[in-house]
């Protein structure tokens, strides 16, 4: 067919009519090209999931595999794929099938219906198309384009919904209250040093969940781990959120003397980590998310998390500081000024 196309059009000037004919011939060639059938049995689909990899090209965890397998059944994904193959040349039917997915009729909704909540279903559908052998080849460009357009539109709707939520949700902690209360607990001899260090670090450097796996040392270590040098008062942040690290790189924060004094006491007392579960062990996966929620209720009177601290200071800066100061804050927090405007700014509601 390719040779025939070259022979038919070779050396001739392409006018509009001829170009249309060429495009039609190419379409017919693609449609008539022999395609191997796809095995859409449940056993084969489950086998595909068992062999899938994540974004880092590593095998899926058992938990992820279980989620995917349940989704195959809950969405009736095998029948959807069969219907898309059968009706790929019928645009109305294709759109009807995709609209059914968007309607989430096969799901028991835990929240009010919103179109954007079907995004994960379309992403999963796309994964199946790309991972099941011969599945992609058994569809056509129209089906693939329509799925991608649904995904793009749903991402847009989800972003808008997220913006609405972050704009009007009530702040869990006011920044001025946070600073005042942190000073009070710092002066309180009955509050453990670990608590004082933790909340003072967030007062000065409101990072993400980056303080739970930090080695204490009296010398600089390799730059592939996070550590705090008690002699230089420097916190070396060498590993953190991937997308942020791609932009900001490895960071060094010089800790105020009063915090450094507290950390040195902990170090001299045998603590291996900056904020550890015990003197020699970190919290699970080095994460402080649950711990901060637990102790915030005890020491501040209301429960809040790391993101609440970050949103609180961003809101304060947007209300009281100039653009230069806001951009400096964004650099300290390892995000962008635009991201702060889009994702974190909130307005306090009347209580």
- Same domain as 211, residue 157: no
- Same domain as 203, residue 103: no
CATH number at residue 338: 1.10.443
Euclidean distance between CA atoms 41 and 176, whole angstroms: 60
- Same domain as 163, residue 47: yes
pLDDT at 232 exceeding the cut of 80:
yes
- Does the residue 203 lie in any domain? yes
Over residues 265-314, the pLDDT tens digits come to 999 999 999 999 999 999 887 889 899 999 999 999 999 999 899 989 98
- What separation in angstroms does the CA of 331 have from each of 47, 313, 328? 45, 13, 5
- Does the residue 328 lie in any domain? yes
Write the CB contacts of 113 (distance below 8 Å, at least 6 apart in sequence): 104
Structural domain including 26 reads: 1-33
Q: What is the pTM of this model?
A: 0.53
Domain count, the chain: 3
- Same domain as 199, residue 53: no
Confidence at residue 5, expressed as pLDDT on a 0 to 100 scale: 47
Q: What is the mean pLDDT of residues 18-27?
A: 66
Write the CB contacts of 98 (distance below 8 Å, at least 6 apart in sequence): 122, 146, 147, 150
Structure tokens at 44: 């084969």
- Same domain as 244, residue 135: no
Euclidean distance between CA atoms 338 and 334, whole angstroms: 12
Confidence at residue 338, expressed as pLDDT on a 0 to 100 scale: 66
- Same domain as 113, residue 78: yes
- Does the residue 349 lie in any domain? no
- Same domain as 308, residue 181: yes
- Same domain as 225, residue 325: yes
pLDDT at 2 exceeding the cut of 50:
no
Euclidean distance between CA atoms 155 and 237, whole angstroms: 32
Q: Quickly list DSSP for 41-109.
A: -HHHHHHHHHT-B-TTS-BPPHHHHHHHHHHHHHHTHHHHHHHHHHTTT-HHHHHHHHHHHHHTTTS--
Structure tokens at 219: 């010398």
- Same domain as 214, residue 323: yes
Lowest mean pLDDT among 79-88, 225-234, 320-329: 320-329
Structure tokens at 66: 């279980």
| Confidence category of residue 345, pLDDT binned at 50, 70, 90 | very low
Over residues 157-216, the pLDDT tens digits come to 776 665 545 444 678 899 999 999 999 999 999 999 999 999 999 999 999 999 999 999
- Same domain as 236, residue 116: no
Confidence at residue 17, expressed as pLDDT on a 0 to 100 scale: 63
């Amino acid at each position: 067919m390719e040779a025939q196309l070259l022979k038919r059009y070779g050396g001739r000037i392409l006018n509009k009519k001829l170009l249309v004919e060429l495009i039609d011939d190419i379409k017919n060639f693609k449609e008539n090209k022999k395609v191997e059938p796809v095995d859409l049995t449940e056993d084969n689909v489950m086998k595909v999931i068992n062999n899938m990899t994540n974004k880092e090209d590593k095998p899926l965890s058992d938990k992820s595999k279980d989620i995917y397998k349940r989704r195959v059944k809950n969405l009736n994904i095998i029948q959807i794929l069969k219907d898309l193959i059968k009706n790929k040349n019928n645009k109305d039917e294709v759109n009807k099938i995709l609209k059914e997915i968007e309607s989430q009729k096969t799901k028991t909704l835990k929240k009010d219906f919103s179109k954007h909540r079907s995004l994960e279903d379309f992403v999963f559908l796309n994964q199946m198309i790309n991972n099941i052998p011969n599945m992609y080849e058994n569809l056509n460009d129209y089906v693939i384009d329509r799925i991608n357009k649904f995904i793009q539109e749903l991402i847009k709707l989800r972003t808008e919904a997220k913006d609405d939520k972050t704009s009007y949700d009530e702040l869990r902690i006011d920044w001025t209250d946070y600073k005042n209360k942190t000073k009070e607990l710092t002066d309180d001899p009955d509050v453990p040093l670990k608590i004082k260090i933790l909340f003072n670090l967030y007062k000065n450097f409101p990072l993400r969940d980056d303080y739970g796996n930090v080695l204490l040392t009296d010398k600089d270590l390799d730059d592939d781990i996070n550590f705090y040098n008690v002699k230089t008062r420097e916190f070396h942040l060498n590993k953190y959120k991937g997308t942020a690290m791609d932009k900001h790189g490895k960071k060094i924060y010089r800790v105020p003397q009063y915090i450094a004094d507290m950390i040195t006491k902990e170090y001299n007392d045998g603590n291996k980590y900056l904020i550890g579960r015990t003197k020699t062990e970190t919290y699970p996966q080095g994460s402080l998310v649950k711990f901060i929620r637990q102790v915030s209720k005890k020491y501040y009177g209301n429960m809040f998390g790391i993101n609440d601290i970050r949103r609180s200071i961003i809101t304060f800066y947007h209300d009281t500081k100039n653009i230069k100061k806001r951009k400096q804050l964004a650099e300290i927090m390892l995000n962008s000024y635009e991201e702060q405007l889009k994702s974190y700014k909130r307005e306090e509601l009347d209580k």
